[in-house]
Amino acid sequence: MDYVLQLLVLAVLGLVGGILSGVAGVGGGIVFVPTLVYVAGWNIKEAVAASLVIVIFSSLSGTIRNARSEDPVDWRAAALLSSTIAPASLIGVFISHVSSTGVVQIVFAIVLLILAYPTGRGRGSTSPDEKKEMPRSLALLAGVGIGTLSGLVGIGGGVVIVPMLVLGFGLSTKRAISTSLAIILATGVVASVGYIATGFSDLLTLPPLIVGSMVGAWFGVRLRDMLPEKVIRLGFAAFMVIVSLRTFSEAAGIL
């Protein structure tokens, strides 16, 4: 009975992560990693690897749904950033493989704290007159950093990618969200292959999260077109801070 209840909880949390994926253009890793650590009892390194596998399905579902959205993917911007972010995720996979669990926990907690503010604050939109191209060298540099973090802590990087697409490529916020999911899909595939190649094989707990995330991402895209994002952003930011503090305390041996 406890096992069945755990599967149901994982499915619900997968649904929540998927909805956030569709609404905010994040892969859902910020939800999936703590879910696997604190609900399923996984080691954080295994949770990061599993999160990237789940992110493939949630972002794929959202990307397919975005094809019928009013704000579809900008494939030119997606291709440019994917060409740097996705390969760089293997750097993060390598760092995770050679570092201790405590290091991964601390980096994960720091990333959550740093991203909580821009997540809660939201992003403004850019008008057509304000469009500007991001220099290729800057895109490459930013992509390497985002990809490395994605591979290390299991976060697709959407919280950073979306404002980059808005400010650097002149996309509207909603179109940037659609484009972000396509980039996260490519990153998840590359990073997952890296983790599987280095020994990750425990996939039995993932189906409820995968199914929940795919269903949630589909509805999340629809919600994005219908509802204001402010309450979701603030709630998501608060969740990030709570998980960050919990992870810090665990790394320090307080919990």
- For the chain, the average pLDDT equals 77
Burial state string for 117-146 with b = 16 or more CB within 10 A and e = fewer than 16: eebbeebeebeeeeeeebeeeebbebbbeb
pLDDT at 242: 79
Q: What's the average model confidence in pLDDT over 89-118?
A: 82
Domain that holds residue 7: 2-251
Single-letter amino acid, residue 119: T
pTM over 0.85: no
Better pLDDT: 220 or 53: 53
> Would the pLDDT of 139 be above 70?
no
Residues in the chain: 255
Lowest mean pLDDT among 97-106, 130-139, 177-186, 244-253: 130-139
Structure tokens at 16: 């929540």
Give, to the nearest 10 degrees, the angle between helix 44-66 and helix 173-197.
140
Structure tokens at 144: 């390497």
Q: How far apart are CA 229 and CA 225, in angstroms?
A: 10
Q: DSSP letters of the chain?
A: -HHHHHHHHHHHHHHHHHHHHHHH---SHHHHHHHHHHTS---HHHHHHHHHHHHHHHHHHHHHHHTTSSS---HHHHHHHHHHHHHHHHHHHHHHHHS-HHHHHHHHHHHHHHHHHHHHH------GGG--PPPHHHHHHHHHHHHHHHHHH----HHHHHHHHHHHH---HHHHHHHHHHHHHHHHHHHHHHHHHTT----TTHHHHHHHHHHHHHHHHHHHHHS-SHHHHHHHHHHHHHHHHHHHHHHTT--
Burial state string for 230-254 with b = 16 or more CB within 10 A and e = fewer than 16: eebbeebbebbbebbebbbebbeee
Cα–Cα nearest to 91, from 137, 153, 147: 147
Lowest mean pLDDT among 1-5, 58-62, 124-128, 174-178: 124-128
Structure tokens at 228: 């204001």
> Would the pLDDT of 135 be above 70?
no
Q: What's the average model confidence in pLDDT over 145-174?
A: 76
pLDDT at 254: 58
pLDDT at 118: 67
Contact 154, 51 (CB under 8 A): yes
Total domain count for the chain?
1
pLDDT at 108: 76
